[in-house]
Structure 1
Amino acid sequence: MSLADRKLFVERWLKSPLKVASVTPSGTDLCRAMARAAGITPSRRVVELGPGTGPVTAALRAHGVAPENLLMIELDAAFAGHLAAIHPGATVVQGDATRIQRIIHDHGWSDCDSVVSGLPLIAMPLPVQARIVRGAFSVLAPGGVFVQFTYGPFAPINPELIRRLRLKPHRHSWIARNLPPASVWTFHRLP
């Protein structure tokens, strides 16, 4: 991550710590694990929620996602502008992740293969978390995967929501070298 990226991240965190929700961007090992969990291939369409300054985005691109198959939804206008500048050809939407279904349809997508989230889902009120997760699963193609990381020991989606939506959680990897250590989880919908 460049010095400019770090500076932007710290500025945005100082302005709105609850929205940014981390004092440091995701580490390289965590970002690579997120990309692996998403099952990236050049033809897979990926929606990224809350990309911030784009460290996970960079890992997705490095693992082969084509810019035209990447749609990022970022609430913070400064982060969104930064992402658009460094990822030409990708679609960057400054918007709310609770509107994922409308956003991808407004950009000509009917569905996607992976939703990769850097949002602090588990810290969100359950109704907001539910809107985001329901929306993500409404746009995932059959067999699609929802990828989320957490710093905590448990699945980063409320257990009641997992039950109601019939999701199958799986801890994909644990990244001890991240600061703080993190786990990457995948979620699939049960048949």
Structure 2
Amino acid sequence: MAILVQQVHDAAVFGIEFVRTNQTTGAIAPSGRRLCRALSRHVLSLDTGPRAILEVGPGTGAVTRYIAARLGPRDRLDLVEANPRLAARLERTIEEEPALTGRTRLWVRPVQEQALADYDAIVCGLPFANFDADTVRSIFDQLLGALKPGGRLSFFGYAWTGAVELLAPSRAETRGVLRDIVRRHQIGRELVTWNVPPAWVHHLSAEKGAGR
């Protein structure tokens, strides 16, 4: 019952923020279980040493909880959330999740304003389809540049964004930038049909020419 109440509350928070700030809050609901699993695919607990994980745009913490379950005892997690109201809910998620206590840092600001460390895995929930092309290019340059050798960056886009482009031609350049980034860096992708709405999850490597 407690989990159901939490899910309903998180969905309500997302709905309010989508109406209030749909430019930066692209999701109409928290990520579903299958989308969370796909986004955290490359967050693996290893015995070889401590790992550094970054989540950008965690919202209320739906994906964060999946990441927490994959953290090793010496891993650390950094979170960057620009929306202060979503960040307030995220702080409660951190307090309620023992796996996050004491090794999670939260910065409440746009990722462009945050100096990043080096990370083994980055999970990104930003609504890139809502951004202009220069912003998308800048953020991906920043995130790919923050990956350690062999690190992975995972992000998603809703399966409906192709139709959105027809309704918003001004975003055609943004779509072009995203396609180019995916073409050069993608190492895999997953279609998550059981999500509201369905979504593509893209897994990227920083090495130039990694994806085709």
TM tier, shorter chain?
0.7 to 0.9
TM-score (norm 1): 0.82
Cα distance, 1:12 vs structure 2: 1.6
**How has the CA–CA distance of structure 1 residues 161 and 177 changed in structure 2, closer, same or farther, with 3 Å as cutoff?**
closer
1:133-181 Cα offsets, whole Å, 9 max, x none, are: 1111221111111101111388996234456xxx321343211111111
Secondary structure in 1 matching 2:67: helix
TM-score (norm 2): 0.75
Identity among equivalent positions (%) equals: 24
Structure 1 equivalent of residue 207 of structure 2: 190
Aligned partner letter, 2:141? R
Give ranges in structure 2 of 5+ residues lacking alignment.
95-100, 163-174
Structure 1 equivalent of residue 33 of structure 2: 28
1:48-102 Cα offsets, whole Å, 9 max, x none, are: 11111111111111223569611110000111122122214311100111234x1
**How has the CA–CA distance of structure 1 residues 65 and 86 changed in structure 2, closer, same or farther, with 3 Å as cutoff?**
farther
Is the Cα contact below 8 Å between 1:162 and 1:168 reproduced in 2? yes
* Residue 39 of structure 1 pairs with residue 43 of structure 2: yes
Candidates 76, 82, 91, aligned match of 2:83: 76
Give ranges in structure 1 of 5+ residues lacking alignment.
105-109
Q: How does 1:1-191 map to 2 (within 5 A)?
A: 2=6, 3-36=8-41, 38-41=42-45, 43-64=50-71, 69-87=76-94, 88-89=101-102, 90-100=104-114, 102=115, 104=116, 110-152=117-159, 158-161=178-181, 167-190=184-207
Q: Determine the C-alpha separation between the residues in 2 that align with 1:84 and 1:14.
A: 22
Q: Determine the C-alpha separation between the residues in 2 that align with 1:111 and 1:26.
A: 26
Aligned partner letter, 1:18? Q
